[in-house]
């Protein structure tokens, strides 16, 4: 059994991970962590997320003392919170699974450095299906490069999502740019006005927000007389939570290093 800490425990993803972990015999939830100024600190986590359990689990601020009770940590929080958490995990040698998005480049590089000290699995999307989409996109982009196909991306999320494009879309963008040799300065995030003809090496990325959409990502390869679409639809946040729990189990006993869901799938 893995003693599990959840960081960002009151967020949508944190709550979903908690529900699945508690219902599994593979995990024991030992810490529900939130930022130090969170108004719910000290309250019973299970009651707040609608779980009727005889035991209580107080919501705690992120600290060494709270993390010492865990064998591993799952993080869905903010870039600043994830950076603080990563340093604490490195100090304790705790495996860390993180799906936090919205990092600035310098924050992202600092975050990844902890993989020199601990096993760190980072993925912008924990879904097994999305990670297969990453692999299929890489394959298609490589095969269609220099064959008169234009690449475009579209992603749709609920209206409360704070960052755009999504972390998953950014990962897909990076795959397309690398495999098709597309320059970063020709990435267009939405189009407006008299933009002229599409440049040959242009990559369009469109973000749509609204309603309660869990997540939809589509990669387009637009040729002459044909179009290939690779699409993933998420209808429940449980797919991300299940992936995160699979990831923390995968990291058990692993050496320090940077891992992804591709490793969990056996693709890398």
What the chain holds in terms of domains, given with CATH numbers, is: 2-122+237-265 (3.40.50.720), 128-234 (3.30.360.10)
d(CA 12, CA 87): 24
pLDDT at site 5:
98
Average pLDDT over residues 36-57: 94
| 35 CB-near residues (< 8 Å, 6+ apart) | 61, 62, 77, 78, 81
Which of the following is catalytic: 38, 61, 117, 161? 161
The tens digit of pLDDT for each residue in 91-139 reads 999 999 999 988 999 999 999 999 999 999 999 889 999 999 999 999 9
B/e letters for 118-155, b = 16+ CB within 10 Å, e = fewer, are bbbbbbbbbbbebbbbbeebbebbeebeeeebbbbbbb
Query: Strands across the sheet with 119-122, in order?
Result: 59-61, 27-34, 2-7, 72-75, 96-98, 119-122, 257-259
- Categorize the per-residue pLDDT at 267 as very low, low, confident or very high, splitting at 50, 70 and 90: confident
pLDDT over 80 (residue 61)? yes
Report the percent of the chain where pLDDT is more than 90.
92
pLDDT at site 102:
85
Q: Are 229 and 220 in contact (CB under 8 A)?
A: yes
pLDDT at site 213:
95
Whether 263 is catalytic: no
The tens digit of pLDDT for each residue in 15-45 reads 999 999 999 999 999 999 999 999 999 999 9
d(CA 98, CA 123): 7
Q: Are 217 and 164 in contact (CB under 8 A)?
A: no
pLDDT at site 181:
96
pTM, 2 dp? 0.82
Alpha helices, H only, the chain: 12-22, 45-48, 64-67, 79-92, 105-112, 128-144, 167-180, 238-251, 261-265
pLDDT over 80 (residue 186)? yes
d(CA 253, CA 71): 10
Question: Left (φ > 0), alpha (ψ -120 to 50) or beta: where does 28 sit?
Answer: beta
State the average pLDDT for the chain.
Answer: 95
Whether 157 is catalytic: yes
- Categorize the per-residue pLDDT at 162 as very low, low, confident or very high, splitting at 50, 70 and 90: confident
Which of the following is catalytic: 7, 157, 170, 232? 157
């Amino acid at each position: 059994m893995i003693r599990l800490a959840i960081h960002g425990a009151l967020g949508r993803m944190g709550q979903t991970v908690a529900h699945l972990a508690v219902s599994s015999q593979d995990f024991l939830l030992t810490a529900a962590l939130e930022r130090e100024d969170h108004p719910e600190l000290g309250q019973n986590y299970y009651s707040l997320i609608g779980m009727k359990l005889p035991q209580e689990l107080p919501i705690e601020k992120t600290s060494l003392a709270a993390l010492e009770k865990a064998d591993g940590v799952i993080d869905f929080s903010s870039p600043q919170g994830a950076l603080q958490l990563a340093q604490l995990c490195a100090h304790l040698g705790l495996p860390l699974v993180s799906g936090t998005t919205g990092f600035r480049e310098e924050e992202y590089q600092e975050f990844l450095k902890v993989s020199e000290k601990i096993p760190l699995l980072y993925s912008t999307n924990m879904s097994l299906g999305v990670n297969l989409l990453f692999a299929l996109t890489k394959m298609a982009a490589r095969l269609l490069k220099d064959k008169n196909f234009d690449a475009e991306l579209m992603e749709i999320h609920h209206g409360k999502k704070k960052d755009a494009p999504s972390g998953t879309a950014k990962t897909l963008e990076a795959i397309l740019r690398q495999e098709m040799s597309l320059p970063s300065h020709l990435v267009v995030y939405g189009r407006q006005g008299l933009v002229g003809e599409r440049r040959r090496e242009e990559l369009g990325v469109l973000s749509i927000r609204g309603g309660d959409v869990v997540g939809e990502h589509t990669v387009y390869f637009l040729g002459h007389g044909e179009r290939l679409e690779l699409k993933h639809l998420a209808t429940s946040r449980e797919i991300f939570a299940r992936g995160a729990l699979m990831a923390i189990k995968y990291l058990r006993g692993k050496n320090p290093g940077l891992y992804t869901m591709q490793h969990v799938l056996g693709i890398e």
